[in-house]
Structure 1
């Protein structure tokens, strides 16, 4: 489930599919809005999120959303390819992008989206379903996982374009 803390606010999702903002010090309710996820799905639903300036990015198994941190109004949403089996969100505020990494079928995907509109800047799907998450440093995105040949690798991608800089076994 989602638990993000920023600017004295805790953002969380309750059992009724409500995205809620609470004062981090007092627990006082600030706002709540619905995500409209498919709650009939019997598989565990992962939710991930992060803050970029005045918006909260929330990734679920089927959609990526952007909400205003001030009042919870939805700014945009984007459909993800089917139901993903795992999902994680990394925000890069100084670049104004969110990096969403997820496993769908036998592939591990990374998509970079602009915070303002949700436009996809680039995507990478070279690794198999064994992707293990990513890290960001300076202009680089580092990702580990299993290559198509079955080798464990570390890949370094350019953050602005997603181009491969190097890959090591």
Structure 2
């Protein structure tokens, strides 16, 4: 029995961290992908996410502002790093003071990101979920108008690519599975 299309996409999906082409990642494309990605499981239908799209034209200004939150000696490196993708999608999650709801919100948001990633892969749009130190920085939260009860989950770097990264093996399920 052959692999389903979904199984194929799951197994072939890669993190595309560099080697982006100049093809523009449009807001329309990102919105289209998100429109399906948000069908992820979400406890209590809380849908705890929101998004900030930084397109290619706004990226240099955005990268400079975020880089300025770093110590002087790291700023140029961080600005260059943030200008590598064609666009960035910032994922913000509503936090809860109730640990169970916080975990559920994070699980739902992570599932939504995986959906987005798989849908993007089908369109040859490269994605990598970045959790660099700036996502925890209060100044970056101010730049992005992130509320007190919200958390930046990650910067999703986006860009089209010509060559997919090599596959990396996974640990066998036999090494990670037991029966009770």
TM-score, with structure 1 as normaliser: 0.26
Structure number with the bigger relative contact order (C-alpha 8 A, sep ≥ 6) is 2
TM-score, with structure 2 as normaliser: 0.25
More helix by share: 2
More strand by share: 1
Structure number with greater Rg is: 2
